[in-house]
Structure 1
């Protein structure tokens, strides 16, 4: 049981790392400031960024719950 939960936790950790790394940054550097990067901060996330944001939240919650479960086993 413990080995199975550990494998699930490793999968959740790798998924969390992958989704965070695939997300675009919050600022686009100096060119983002000049070209109106503030719109991106206050605008609604769309498409792939929204999907990756939701997937990273799910992976983080799964990692947290699996960590708590492993501490109880």
Structure 2
């Protein structure tokens, strides 16, 4: 069981790194200081974009990584 959790944790770690590296940069955040309105089609429908899918996938992988880490620590003390 311990070996399976270690392998699963390594796979999740590599998956998190890959998903984070695929995400686009957030450098456009500095343009909002000028007071520009970002009321575009993509701003309104952000839940359907590739970027939002990657953010959601990162959160899910992070949660799974945390669960596997807790399980791994619990299995170590048995």
- Count matched residues: 68
CA contact (8 A) 1:9 1:67 kept: yes
Compute the TM-score of the two structures, normalised by the length of structure 2. 0.71
Distance in 2 separating the partners of 1:11 and 1:3: 12
Please tell me the root mean square deviation across aligned C-alpha atoms, in Å. 2.5
Q: Are residues 16 and 37 of structure 1, via their aligned partners in 2, closer, same or farther at CA, if it must alter by over 3 Å?
A: farther
- 1:37 CA drift (Å): 7.7
Q: Label 1:38 to 1:16 Cα distance change in 2 as closer, same or farther (>3 A).
A: farther
* Counterpart residue number, 1:3: 3
Partners of 1:22 and 1:67 lie apart in 2 by 24
Question: Unpaired runs of 5+ in structure 1?
Answer: none
Q: Distance in 2 between matches of 1:22 and 1:63?
A: 18
The DSSP-based 3-state class of the residue aligned with 1:24 is coil
Give per-residue Cα distances to partners, 1:6-31, cap 9 Å, x unaligned.
1111111111111111111112487x
Which structure: greater helix fraction?
A: 2
TM-score normalised per structure 1: 0.76
